[in-house]
Amino acid sequence: MPGVSICLWQLKKLIQDKDIDAVVTIGCVIQGSTKHDEIVIQHASRKIADLSLEYGKPVTLGISGPGMSRLDAHERVEYAKRAVEAAVKCSKC
């Protein structure tokens, strides 16, 4: 949970910088003993989309989850480069 909250705070700070064309969010939300991970990823992805639209800059979602174990997340590390590639492509539009 702390990682996602910090990610959103840092995202807003980065997206306000006029020298930054795009932002990539990378991370994972690991499932705990409750369904809290579903709420966390829903709110994070919504806020990321809102900030992208508000500031008119591409922000790609490279945060995996919900319902992931640590092993699942580790196996998907390579997927993060897709978010980077998408940000680069979008910033050229």
Active-site positions read: 36
If one counts every other C-beta atom within 10 angstroms of the C-beta of residue 75, the result is: 12
Question: Which of 40, 61, 39 has its CA nearest to residue 50?
Answer: 61
> Of 56, 66, 54, 53, which is closest to residue 27 (Cα–Cα)?
66
Cβ atoms of residues 44 and 7 within 8 Å: yes
